[in-house]
Structure 1
């Protein structure tokens, strides 16, 4: 039974560590995407329509 309490305690500390890391990342703008807007123009072209019929 003591092993369960030890494992629960350890898992709570690990979960709090991950929560702290997540909150730190959000607070310091680690999730800001500076790269995608600069290359978005490269992907704006539409693909050519493949449904065109040849009149041969």
Structure 2
């Protein structure tokens, strides 16, 4: 019977640890932007060319 109390105590400790980690992640801004990661692959990367197209640099 004492093993049940030990397992309950350990499970509460693990649950509180995960809850504390979740609150830390929210407070540190991990969940600030939930829209951009879903559409990031749709954005085009804008890069500047090294030289003008079809000619030599001026």
Structure 1, gaps ≥5 residues long:
44-56
Q: CA RMSD in A?
A: 2.8
TM-score, normalised by the number of residues in structure 1: 0.60
Q: Which deviations, in whole Å up to 9, do the C-alpha atoms of 1:5-53 show, x marking residues without a partner?
A: 000000000000001000000100111227717738x48xxxxxxxxxx
Say how many residue pairs are matched: 42
Structure 2, gaps ≥5 residues long:
44-58
